[in-house]
Chains A and B, each alone.
Chain A
């Protein structure tokens, strides 16, 4: 792909404020209820919210999941019923049937519109029912898709203990990660090992990742002598990390800007602004940034990155020189684009539902740097894109791959355009050095599919010239 216009020197940002498709942020319940094992999520909304949850997460709902809808009925909307009494009835029932350690109320557009004062109701109800209640307003008026996680984690940041409540040895015990890492070892060994860590202020990581990835990233940092004192969220609500004034925090997901702000402003933490640990390049940059903040000389990172790249070579051959277009869905777009540019692809457009230039500052800088180093044009970043306009641009530029929300995938495929669902990147394990392979497994699948079908001549499966 060549551009006739001279290459811009800095990233270009547009905001189309268009009509675009993405998932509702309440979908974060799907992964958070699994991540936080002692939680119960109560989504307070309408039938529309319930229908979305049920269809988007059809599989899980059959298994008596730890989430449910508090469906608002006409009486609730018209304020004939008492919100407090209604919620009390439901939460009492949940406590009786499931006995979770925390109930997370997920506010929705409806609770916003009728101005239900969830934050006001929760403290009193929490006392009366005797279960912590966390309120997250993950509504579709203010947020898109993965930002739902941001609202929940920001709310949970307030619940992290500010002091270790018990004696030091026991404090170790209540920390799930150290227990995991020290599994089956004697206290003396653990003590001895403490000396392997450099002396640095406490570090807490935020972002919800599957447990194996949590372990991988924790171990990567340990190799550099950096000790992770906890993760937000932890596996259990009762194991939320201790956050003191001056704790350093670093995010693993690019959509957590409110959580970052809450940790900085309300919990007086210091945020390490790093690129995100996605792809070997991003993971290295992420670790290096943390090391630099703690004045630690990183060891063996360049070799580590090189090894990973070498192991990816079979995939890289398939995508080098190819172009990719992000329609914008899950806010992972900048990180993925940066990684794919490093893989040798060109990116024509990055659609993204919401662009926080401050929280993503280091990532944007790395994207820019990567484009320069790889000698490819800088992508156009389009916030709140208009899908209809994007389809025209896709039609014009004919990218080799479009990463898109689910609604557009089949119609694009029918017009001979390769697609990959963006939501797959949300649910796959993509963080850290070794999982880069999983990203490329997804990215190359349509291209490999084409290789196996290429002799059939079935590229376009609609009759008229694509009228989009």
Chain B
């Protein structure tokens, strides 16, 4: 048993459902108790989805437990098949119902006898893997299912497309800015003269899968979703893939050069150097920003980065390499793929943290006192309490991560968006400072709240009054320094005098 207050990646069935419901005309049946169907709410509310989420819960209740689930699950599959004629029905348990250890594969086979569409069981170990791993696996499973099916029927194409083409793998519902990234990537491919053969799974039909091998390569923009499918397609068809995330000016260029290499190895003769240079120097504002006086002011400022592998690694590189910001800590919650992360960021940061314990990250932030954080919604809240600005760069997703306007993180427009995000995060801190100087803020009452539960130290009234006079953006820091000073000297009550003594001691 583990005492838990927060999780970064969801349970496995969420990943499976994200992939299944991203496809067009695919329905998922979730074999689960009544309260497990929160996915439908998330999709409908966060994505502001206009259509009903194609997920039905086959309810496990006391009666079903007593009588066995088979009949009910099979009925629900065949019923949905008849009602909406989906191409595919994906059956998934949740970690709760998987404890029942029922032979769901057998249910699927039974249902398949009557269903006109295809029926599969999501082959995921619900106790061992999380949302991200399960999503990756489910996508691969569906790709494999339809590849095998086409092969049996002799429907697999043998030719590649006449001109260079790409499959973009890993765009899905409830992904962090996925829709915007997808639009940006399509534009980028069009600029390069590459045809998009398929985008998977968002908006795709399962019938497109048999034609995946026609593309010259697969592009996997997110480390968390699509890599298993790309690897599978490489094994099957010797189809190469590019898994460099095109985020930031430098990595976008590296991604494009890799694409160029992959295409030229297959007989194309493309040269993207001129395009890269034009975009970098004249179209994207990010490179110019790095030279501008605004960015000079950010030089050497300290930042903490935390998120999923894709976004945390890319962000660390952008801050360190493209903006001269000192990343004091780069962290990821993708523990299963930690080696990759370490290798990516080790040269760009002081410290690496691999953890899915939000308390550990909060404590690290409190200890490091960065000028800005780039993290998830959780770190944003940590930042709020410590008075440190935070830009949100990664899931877990939140309604704020579904802006109506166009806000990609990838490609050249993405570089502009990220620049704005970084700049605004830091300037928010400065603005705060100016406001304080001109007396524009209400005095905040929350200052005695530290990040880790309770402070054993007491503040006297005059001590607090003095503390409140200190500008908000350094107040937290002064408070922590003073408390450290007091603790080292065994002082229990912090008065105004102690505060000033501490200030002197640290030369602040």
* B-binding residues in A (CB < 8 A): 19-27, 44-52, 54-56, 58, 61-62, 64-65, 68-74, 76-77, 81, 86-87, 89-90, 93-94, 97, 108-110, 113-114, 139-142, 144, 388, 391, 405-411, 414, 461-462, 467-468
Residues on A with beta carbons closer than 8 Å to the beta carbon of B191: none
Cα distance A27–B13 in the bound complex, in angstroms: 20
Say yes or no: A51 contacts B11, CB within 8 Å: yes
Cα distance A31–B300 in the bound complex, in angstroms: 46
Residue B4, interface by CB 8 Å: yes
Say yes or no: B94 contacts A414, CB within 8 Å: no
Say yes or no: A410 contacts B3, CB within 8 Å: no
13 example contacts (A-B, Cβ-Cβ < 8 A) are as follows A47-B7, A51-B7, A65-B5, A77-B99, A81-B1, A86-B1, A113-B100, A114-B99, A409-B45, A410-B44, A410-B50, A411-B44, A467-B84
Q: Decide: A414 near B50, CB < 8 A? Known: A93-B3, A113-B99.
A: yes
Quote the shortest CB–CB distance from A207 to chain B (angstroms): 21
Quote the shortest CB–CB distance from B361 to chain A (angstroms): 13
Residue B140, interface by CB 8 Å: no
Residues on A with beta carbons closer than 8 Å to the beta carbon of B13: 48
What residue in chain B is nearest A83 (Cβ atoms)? B1
Cα distance A62–B390 in the bound complex, in angstroms: 15
Say yes or no: A46 contacts B44, CB within 8 Å: no
Give which listed residue, B10, B35, B44, B58, contacts A19 with CB less than 8 A: B58
Excluding A21-B40, A409-B44, 11 further A-B contacts by CB distance (< 8 Å) are A19-B56, A22-B35, A23-B38, A47-B95, A48-B36, A68-B5, A69-B3, A69-B4, A70-B1, A87-B1, A144-B34
Say yes or no: B378 contacts A468, CB within 8 Å: no
Q: Mark B288-320, 1 if CB is under 8 A from A, else 0.
A: 000000000000000000000000000000000
Say yes or no: B3 contacts A90, CB within 8 Å: yes
Residue B127, interface by CB 8 Å: yes
Residue B442, interface by CB 8 Å: no
Residue B269, interface by CB 8 Å: no
Say yes or no: B61 contacts A21, CB within 8 Å: no
Say yes or no: B76 contacts A109, CB within 8 Å: no
Residue B167, interface by CB 8 Å: no
Say yes or no: B45 contacts A406, CB within 8 Å: yes
Cα distance A71–B37 in the bound complex, in angstroms: 19
Say yes or no: B50 contacts A411, CB within 8 Å: yes
Cα distance A407–B381 in the bound complex, in angstroms: 27
Give which listed residue, B5, B34, B41, contacts A61 with CB less than 8 A: B5
Give which listed residue, A109, A114, A410, contacts B33 with CB less than 8 A: A109
Residue B83, interface by CB 8 Å: yes
Cα distance A302–B494 in the bound complex, in angstroms: 61
What residue in chain A is nearest B1 (Cβ atoms)? A86
What residue in chain A is nearest B56 (Cβ atoms)? A19
Cα distance A104–B7 in the bound complex, in angstroms: 22
Cα distance A387–B211 in the bound complex, in angstroms: 37
User: 7 closest pairs, A vs B, by CB?
Assistant: A24-B35, A140-B35, A407-B40, A414-B50, A140-B33, A47-B11, A62-B381
Say yes or no: B7 contacts A54, CB within 8 Å: yes
Residues on B with beta carbons closer than 8 Å to the beta carbon of A86: 1
Say yes or no: A97 contacts B453, CB within 8 Å: yes
Say yes or no: B2 contacts A71, CB within 8 Å: yes
Residues on B with beta carbons closer than 8 Å to the beta carbon of A139: 33
What residue in chain A is nearest B130 (Cβ atoms)? A47
Say yes or no: B52 contacts A141, CB within 8 Å: no
Q: Mark B45-86, 1 if CB is under 8 A from A, else 0.
A: 100111111001111111001000000000010000001100
Say yes or no: A113 contacts B96, CB within 8 Å: yes
Say yes or no: B96 contacts A110, CB within 8 Å: yes
Residue B42, interface by CB 8 Å: yes
Say yes or no: A73 contacts B7, CB within 8 Å: no
Residue B398, interface by CB 8 Å: yes
Residue B371, interface by CB 8 Å: no
Say yes or no: B33 contacts A55, CB within 8 Å: no
Say yes or no: B5 contacts A48, CB within 8 Å: no
Say yes or no: B3 contacts A141, CB within 8 Å: no
Residues on A with beta carbons closer than 8 Å to the beta carbon of B50: 410-411, 414, 461-462
Residues on A with beta carbons closer than 8 Å to the beta carbon of B4: 50, 68-71
User: In this complex, which of A68, A114, A140, A414 has the most chain B Cβ atoms within 10 angstroms of its Cβ?
Assistant: A140
Quote the shortest CB–CB distance from A97 to chain B (angstroms): 6
Quote the shortest CB–CB distance from A78 to chain B (angstroms): 10
Give which listed residue, B14, B34, B44, contacts A406 with CB less than 8 A: B44
Residues on B with beta carbons closer than 8 Å to the beta carbon of A97: 453
Say yes or no: B52 contacts A411, CB within 8 Å: yes
User: In this complex, which of A19, A48, A55, A110 has the most chain B Cβ atoms within 10 angstroms of its Cβ?
Assistant: A48
Residues on B with beta carbons closer than 8 Å to the beta carbon of A50: 4, 7
Say yes or no: B35 contacts A25, CB within 8 Å: yes
What residue in chain A is nearest B47 (Cβ atoms)? A410
Say yes or no: A462 contacts B51, CB within 8 Å: yes
User: In this complex, which of B4, B7, B453 has the most chain A Cβ atoms within 10 angstroms of its Cβ?
Assistant: B4
Residue B6, interface by CB 8 Å: yes
Say yes or no: A73 contacts B35, CB within 8 Å: no
Residues on A with beta carbons closer than 8 Å to the beta carbon of B7: 47, 50-51, 54
What residue in chain B is nearest A25 (Cβ atoms)? B35
Q: Decide: A51 near B1, CB < 8 A? Known: A109-B33, A142-B62.
A: no
Quote the shortest CB–CB distance from A258 to chain B (angstroms): 14
What residue in chain A is nearest B398 (Cβ atoms)? A58
Say yes or no: B381 contacts A73, CB within 8 Å: no
Q: Decide: A54 near B41, CB < 8 A? Known: A72-B1, A74-B127.
A: no
Residues on B with beta carbons closer than 8 Å to the beta carbon of A76: 1
Say yes or no: B11 contacts A48, CB within 8 Å: yes
Cα distance A52–B94 in the bound complex, in angstroms: 12
Residues on A with beta carbons closer than 8 Å to the beta carbon of B83: 388
Cα distance A97–B5 in the bound complex, in angstroms: 14
Quote the shortest CB–CB distance from A308 to chain B (angstroms): 34
Cα distance A76–B95 in the bound complex, in angstroms: 13
Cα distance A332–B1 in the bound complex, in angstroms: 36
Q: Decide: A55 near B5, CB < 8 A? Known: A140-B33, A461-B50.
A: no
Cα distance A275–B422 in the bound complex, in angstroms: 57
Give which listed residue, B44, B60, B128, B453, contacts A141 with CB less than 8 A: B60
Residues on B with beta carbons closer than 8 Å to the beta carbon of A142: 61-62
Residues on B with beta carbons closer than 8 Å to the beta carbon of A408: 44, 52
Say yes or no: B65 contacts A141, CB within 8 Å: yes
Residues on B with beta carbons closer than 8 Å to the beta carbon of A25: 35
Residues on A with beta carbons closer than 8 Å to the beta carbon of B100: 113
Q: Decide: A64 near B453, CB < 8 A? Known: A93-B3, A141-B65, A468-B52.
A: yes
Residues on B with beta carbons closer than 8 Å to the beta carbon of A27: 35
Say yes or no: B11 contacts A19, CB within 8 Å: no
- B256-279 at interface with A (beta carbon < 8 Å): none
Residues on B with beta carbons closer than 8 Å to the beta carbon of A141: 33-34, 60-62, 65
Residues on B with beta carbons closer than 8 Å to the beta carbon of A21: 37, 40-41, 57
Quote the shortest CB–CB distance from A184 to chain B (angstroms): 26
Quote the shortest CB–CB distance from B56 to chain A (angstroms): 5
What residue in chain B is nearest A468 (Cβ atoms)? B52
Cα distance A69–B76 in the bound complex, in angstroms: 32
Residues on A with beta carbons closer than 8 Å to the beta carbon of B45: 406, 409-410
Quote the shortest CB–CB distance from A76 to chain B (angstroms): 6
Say yes or no: A48 contacts B453, CB within 8 Å: no
Cα distance A94–B4 in the bound complex, in angstroms: 12
Residues on A with beta carbons closer than 8 Å to the beta carbon of B377: 58
Residues on A with beta carbons closer than 8 Å to the beta carbon of B5: 61, 64-65, 68-69
Cα distance A81–B99 in the bound complex, in angstroms: 16
Say yes or no: B127 contacts A52, CB within 8 Å: no
Quote the shortest CB–CB distance from A148 to chain B (angstroms): 9
Quote the shortest CB–CB distance from B442 to chain A (angstroms): 19
Residues on B with beta carbons closer than 8 Å to the beta carbon of A467: 84
Residues on B with beta carbons closer than 8 Å to the beta carbon of A414: 50-51
What residue in chain B is nearest A67 (Cβ atoms)? B5
Cα distance A61–B376 in the bound complex, in angstroms: 14
Cα distance A406–B53 in the bound complex, in angstroms: 12
Quote the shortest CB–CB distance from A423 to chain B (angstroms): 10
Say yes or no: A410 contacts B34, CB within 8 Å: no
Say yes or no: A19 contacts B59, CB within 8 Å: yes
Say yes or no: A407 contacts B44, CB within 8 Å: yes
